[in-house]
Amino acid sequence: MKGKYYFLVGDSTSGKTFFSMTCMAEATRNENFKDYDLIYDNVEDGMLMDIQRLFGAEVERRIEPPSTDDDGLPVYSETIEEFYYHLDDRIKTGRPFIYVLDSMDGLSSEAEGKKFGEQKKAHRGGKESKGSYGDGKAKKNSSGLRKALSGIRDTGSILIIIAQTRDILDAQMFGPKKTRSGGHALKFYATAEIWTALGGQIKRQVRGRQRKIGDKIRIRLKKNRVTGKLHEVWAAIYPSYGVDDIGSNIDYLLAEKWWTKAGQTVKAKEFDLELQREKLVREIESSPKKVTRLQRIVGRCWKEIEDACALDREGRY
């Protein structure tokens, strides 16, 4: 949804960057976003993938850093303060944008830098520096997000903040095992909080050996202001391809027994096809109309399940 902020949290290599870049790619194919600036704040300097091959030439052409220096070189945020300055600059242009921060964990802060300097000076002077680092991100996020949200709403922009999970070392048996940094505001102001996790490897036999070619990713909603429903879905990601929307949709229909499988053959009733999964994927992706049809079939299956789960009672009011 336009005018909203989304929080994407996940384990390492669980597809956070792939999913956010896929949002950019979908925006380039959608007329509703033709005038949007696509901003990728590459804090971690970690996205070294082939953008054109994975996400298309239009994404490579339109994507830009938050700012550039006098030589035209990209300038990415290094501190939490710089991130909110860059975000504010974009809002003040009045142009709509999709802004991806990758990631919150890669940002330092002015307070952290100051404390490092104090400790370095004290150490080399043979003294002891008091206090701990304390990066101050939670406080900055509380005030920075509150200030930015009205501008994001007014321009119809989209903000996606990526964060890394952290293990809870003293986790209780039935308590959460993962957490993340940055403070409560990151969740409080989000329209949706989405968590990704590795759910298994996808392998293929090549030259007589099983080789990993992708990952199964579990995607969970931990907050949803749109409907309040906290769903969980699965998707496949291949480093050589990206997010496999078609294959994941086929797997969903099979899991919900909307389609059936006999041996290695998938019976896709609406297409009047009985093919092996990989051949069915290729058949559907051969035509944009077939892709759209598959998405609508998944939509019907999803809605049928939602309707069956709803209480059949008169509204209270």
pLDDT at 151: 98
Beta pairing, strands 260-262 & 265-268 = antiparallel
9-18, 115-124, 299-308: segment of lowest average pLDDT: 115-124
Q: Is the peptide bond before 103 cis (omega within 30 degrees of 0)?
A: yes
Model confidence at 48, in pLDDT bands (50, 70, 90)? Answer: confident
What is the arithmetic mean of pLDDT over 115-133?
Answer: 70
What is the arithmetic mean of pLDDT over 196-215?
Answer: 96
Phi/psi for 217 (5° steps) reads -115, 130
Instruction: Look up tokens 């390492």; give the residue.
Output: 12
With H, G, I as helix, E, B as strand and everything else as coil, classify residue 266: strand
pLDDT at 8: 98
Whether the pLDDT of residue 181 is over 70: the answer is: yes
Q: Which CATH architecture has domain 4-195+221-226?
A: 3-Layer(aba) Sandwich (3.40)
Model confidence at 111, in pLDDT bands (50, 70, 90)? Answer: confident
Whether the pLDDT of residue 84 is over 80: the answer is: yes
C-alpha 202/C-alpha 217 separation (Å) is: 10
pLDDT at 255: 97
pLDDT at 129: 61
Half-sphere exposure of 152 (CA within 13 A, CB side): 24
Cβ atoms of 54 and 78 closer than 8 Å: no
Q: Domains of the chain: which residue ranges?
A: 4-195+221-226, 246-317
Work out the percent of the chain whose per-residue pLDDT is above 90.
Answer: 83
Residue whose C-alpha is closest to residue 250's, from 265, 239, 240: 265
Whether the pLDDT of residue 170 is over 90: the answer is: no
User: Helices 277-285 and 245-255 sit at what angle, rounded to 10 degrees?
Assistant: 130
Phi/psi for 167 (5° steps) reads -75, 140
pLDDT at 63: 97
Model confidence at 315, in pLDDT bands (50, 70, 90)? Answer: confident
- H-helix or E-strand spanning residue 40: strand 37-41
8-17, 46-55, 81-90: segment of lowest average pLDDT: 46-55
C-alpha 200/C-alpha 237 separation (Å) is: 11
Whether the pLDDT of residue 13 is over 60: the answer is: yes
Cβ atoms of 3 and 157 closer than 8 Å: yes
Query: Across the strands, what pairs with 7?
Result: 161, 193
